[in-house]
Structure 1
Amino acid sequence: MSQYKVIGVMSGTSLDGIDLAYIHFEKTTHWKFEILVAETIPYDGTLEEQLREAIHYDAEELKQFDTVYTGFLAIKIRTFIEKHNIKDLDAVCSHGHTILHQPEKGITYQIGNLPGLGILLQNHVKTVVCDFRVQDVALGGQGAPLVPIGDELLFSEYDYCLNLGGFANISYHKEGKRVAYDICPVNIVLNKYAKQLGFDYDDKGKLARSGEYLLSLGSELDNLSYYKQLPPKSLGLEWVQKEIFPRLEAFKRKEIDLLRTFTEHVAMQLARNFKIRSKVLVTGGGAYNDYLLERIKYYKELNLVKPVDELIEYKEALIFGFLGVLRLRDEVNCLKSVTGAIKDHSSGKVYNFG
């Protein structure tokens, strides 16, 4: 089989909602894709708050919430299929939502990946591929980032692929292998302070642009030990809650100044990771933050390429759809050079019905 029509499903740490993309993949001499239809389903305030707080749930509460979230996800996927009258569908490929990510302890937990997802969708699709991270952690890897195999096979014309979501992650080819890692938090922090100012996010970076840079805070952030670590490495909400938010709150300064300072911090950290005059594909919600992109180019001369909006917004959903296709073909979708696992492997649970 060389053609697949799948739905990729992604919920990121920035909590802006569930991304769904219906994609056609075709394998000839190389992989090609077309996003046929895509949309983001925002979370309501209650569910968003539960997702934010779930890191503090005990085991039983988390188990119950996983069941609730799996049911919620199934309803949203089913509605998407019916709304767009999707008949030709080989699989739903879903990331779920990360609650715990502590690979150094052998822990990663994405809710929404229970067998119930497949059961609830079986009248609309016969195959569900999900829970892509657990196997990699069991093999000694970081369980992240998983997108680089898509960068390698779908976007090889760029020197670097940069995703600006809840976290910034980078992927590039070096000495015959794909290297990728999380650089720093982005929207998981910026959105928090934009919300405190009455906005869902910092539109085009206008808020940060009008703030004041706090030199001592910027210096403290730049000296965090994570930035000195060599890859493979990855970040999670727990790290942000421990290392970032307390430092920002301790300064007791206006949200607008914290936004400016953290945006500057992100720009500096990102610029350090690129070679001068490189061609960089920029996707994720942060690609719309004009001020952030300006500041990155202030620190280093780069060709930052913003693709069509569809790709900016749905690249991760696209690639999780692709990870599912590779899993169905039993081909490598998780690279040891990226995650630090003991071997390349084909990751993801497959639920078949019918």
Structure 2
Amino acid sequence: MDNKNSRRIKRGNLTRNGALASQKTGKASKQFIKIFSLTLLILFFALGSYGFRLIAQTQGAFSKTYKPLAGREASSKIQNKKPVSILLLGVDTTDNGVRDTEVDYKGNSDTMIVVTVNPDTNKTTMMSVPRDTMAQIWKTSTNNTKKIQKINSAYNIGTEQSSVVTTEKLLNIPIDYYIKVDFNSLTKIVNSVGGVDVDVPFSFSYGDTGKKPSVFKKGKMHLNGQQALDYSRMRHDDPDGDYGRQKRQRQVISAIIKSAASAQTFTHYQSVLDSISDSMTTSMPFNDMQSMFLNYRGASKNIDSDYIQGYGSMIDGQSFEVAPTKELQRASNKLRKQLGLPKETLNNEETKLNKLNEDRGFDFNVDLDQTYNIFTKNQTSK
């Protein structure tokens, strides 16, 4: 029984994300992940490079970043050296560089990565959740919006709390902490480390509306803050679309970390810390950051990069990634294992919608135009 919310979905490319799975970029990706994991909380390089004598300054810089999740008790897992999970959120509060006219506009979390760190197995797992993943949006663990939307809209609807809970419900995992970084602070961060070096994959130009565009030529380039922001934002002229943009963003993040840990940066480390702390919000207290640096560093030697593979689909003119139940279950099993939890069969709104559609003939295994229906709550409850 279909309802008025029936929508047409056109199946997209069924191959896994080339930006992550490419054999040609595998070595570079592994190198980036190792560097990033070592500096996952930024504090890693702040303490590791500058020494514990600077803890007081570091603590001062990070004190304003702390924002706990409402109604949640502080996690004791890090203090007890247990496996932990962290949701990394990259938020952009502008549309193509133009800040929204709404005073309270929060933006969407266009980057979402679930990170698990296990000190027992000395392993770190990074699971990317595509921003267009179809998901039911939750505000709290007991209050959902009854909306099926792109998962990146959760932040705009209910800030970090909603992003955390929506991801927990989608994958049936607990998330202990979040770290949110405002993408629009990239200019300041890059300038504070003296610019970054990147290898431009192809020539293009891009710039914010009303500003002179930055010009990029294929090959190695040194970018200042504004150039790095433009380089990270361009999407429509990239042959790989948003996957290509994500790859360039990872390039810039990796370059920032390398520059921040260099000897030249030591002389102005305070400006680096200030630029980072101005753009970051986290539910992780400073003492947990210290403990994680001391007790979890071994996990940086064994890094696993993964992502949820959906099917590129157009729903009412918008691009979605519809993740099959098998893929959601795979991601859930993997993350739960890293957290020391047993497997559990997923039973959420997304898997119910998949089941109802498959019962009506929708086949995730064929590359054809098909109708995927967004059913009512009553229908998915059956």
TM-score after normalising by structure 1: 0.26
**Structure with higher RCO (Cα < 8 A, 6+ apart):** 2
